[in-house]
Each structure stands twice: as C-alpha cells, then as structure tokens.
Amino acid sequence: MGKIINSSFQPSWWLRSPHFQTIWPSLFRKQADFTPEWERVELDDGDFMDLAWHRRQEADAPIVLIIHGLEGSLESHYANTMLAALHKAGFSSAVLHLRGRGREPNRLPQSYHSGATDDLRLILNHLEQQQQIPKAVIGVSLGGNLLLKYLGEEGGNCPLTTAIAVSVPFQLRACSQRLGKGFAKIYGQYLLRKLHESYHKKFSKVTSPLTIDLKNIKTLWQFDDAITAPLHGFKDAKDYYQQCSSAQFLPKITTPTLIIHSQDDPFMTPEIVPTEKHMSEQVTLELTQHGGHVGFIEGYSDGALKYWLEQRVVSHLQEQLT
C-alpha cells in the first residue's frame, strides 16, 4: 500500500486559479540562460533520439534524466528551468527528446506516445554503455505516465535509485475525454493543433503510411484513434489507452517514487487520482490543493515569481541521492 500526503504548497490568494497556474508559465516565464550540450543517440532501427544536457564539471555529479510531456521539449517551461535548478543544486541533467521531438523530425513513421517504455530502456542502456548512468528520472505529464509504466514493468530490475512523476494522466481514456469537454477543451484543442503541426511537418517530406485527412481529426481521441494507435501497433484509441495507462502499473513499482499532483489539474478529474491501496509501498503521492497542470507557482519573492515545483524536486533528489 502506498502513501498519500498533503503538500505544503500554497499559492498566493491571487494565484489559486488552476488555469492561471497552468497557462502563466508557458506564456510569461523566462527561459533559463545556458547553452545546452546536444547529443544525438542513433538507434539500431535507423531512428534517433536527442538529449539536451546541462552538465556539471564534477565527474561524480549525480545524473538526472527528464522526460517531457505531450509535444514538449527543452523549450518547455518546466524542462529548461528544471535543468537550471538541477545544475545549481549539483546535478548533471538532460532532457530526453522522444522520437519526433528532437531538433528535427525523426526518420521512421512511428513517433512517441504515452507508453513508449522501450525507448526509455534504449536511452538508459545507451547511457549505461557510456558510463553516464542516471540515478533518477523525472517524468512530466505524458512523460510521467511513461515513467510510471516503465517502473512498474521493470519492478525489481529497475536500475534507478529514485523517480519523480509530475501531473500524470494516470487514466488516459478519462483524460482524453476530459480534454474534449468544457473549458478543458481549450487545452485539448491547443494540444491537437501542436500534434497536427508535427504530423504535417514530418510527413510533408516523406510519405505517411496512413491514409487520413487531418481536417477530419478534431479531438485528441480521434487523433489517437486514427494516428497514434495504428502507427504504434494498437488496435484503436481504446486499446492504446488501456495498455498504456500508468494507473495499472503503480502496484508493481519497487523503486522509491514521488508523484506530485494537483487536485485542481484542469487536464483531468480528481477521480483518476489513485488511492493508497492502488499503489505499492514504494510510491508516495503528494497532493496539492492548487497548482493546475505543471504550474505550482507560489507567488512573488524578491520581485520574481517563485516556482515551488523545482524546489520540491531538488529537495527530494538531495534526500535520495546525496
């Protein structure tokens, strides 16, 4: 049985809106000022994935890997600034850009998805061969779902010391439905436009194996049903969601894992949040009352907005790794 704790996170009164918490960082947060070191990992199947590093000079600095969310990258507000915070705290870290999310479209028809754990294994194996073994992985949103699925699949064979998952869509079907209704539909349509752009960019130069008209795909569910599922070996969206939802893998996790989740996350409903009996004893779910989707902004401090998530992640990693 896992553990659920109430978080100490408290935003200023004027920052309590989940939509403000969700939208503000993407629109107004400044990128951290550093030059990443890019590494292209060539795969045996002819494809590639990219890593964006922010390394410490110390050879023994613990390594942390970050997995982005849907249509995410180093440029995502949580990724760039998390690398900077980790570097300041003494960690070397990298953002793993899954297939299709690197600096150019990937070569194969397949891309990334919420359950692409084999690709995480490929990267971890590559880093092990390079003697750059990560001690921890942080997964955000879709990346958090992928990470939890991986941890459950690996069980006692997981090479990580600890893991952190943030704003996880534990039940993909329910989250997809949520993003098609009410105010949340605005987020769903934004993500759908990004997916359309990526699909068009990739298949404008090479022939798609699918016969589809993007104009007819008007929801995330339809995109997953017509594109994500067939490209990655699933029967349909329902099959994809069922096989890849991370909730079912939580009882099998043996790696100390922290999940950070806001009860007002507009991408999902409170009903999808797992209970203690549906998690292994190695899983701690830290629930905040506010925070939106990957927001967690506290308020102003010394003339600047204070972002709690990075502090909490660094604190956990320092406890576990140093």
Task: Kindly report, residue by residue over 202-244, the tens digit of the pLDDT.
Answer: 998 888 999 999 999 999 999 999 999 999 999 999 999 999 9
- The residues pairing with 166 across neighbouring beta strands, listed in sequence order, are 140, 260
Pair 291, 9: CB distance under 8 Å: yes
pLDDT tens, residue by residue, 167-215: 999 999 999 999 999 999 999 999 999 999 999 999 988 889 999 999 9
> How are beta strands 304-307 and 3-6 bridged, if at all?
unpaired
Positions marked catalytic: 141, 265, 293
pLDDT of residue 196: 98
Q: CA-CA distances (angstroms) from residue 43 to 70, 113, 118, 160?
A: 22, 17, 12, 22
Full set of structural domains in the chain with CATH: 3-170+249-321 (3.40.50.1820), 172-244 (no CATH)
Residue 248: what pLDDT?
99
Residue ranges for the chain with pLDDT beneath 70 = none
- 42-73 in b/e burial notation, b at 16+ Cβ within 10 A? ebeeebbbbbbbbbbeeeebbbbbbbbbbbbb
Beta strand 283-288 pairing with 136-140: unpaired
CA 76, CA 64: separation in Å to the nearest integer? 17
Output phi, psi for 128, to 5 deg.
-65, -40
**Half-sphere exposure at residue 243, Cβ-oriented, CA atoms within 13 angstroms:** 15
pTM of the model: 0.97
Residue at token pair 């798609």: 208
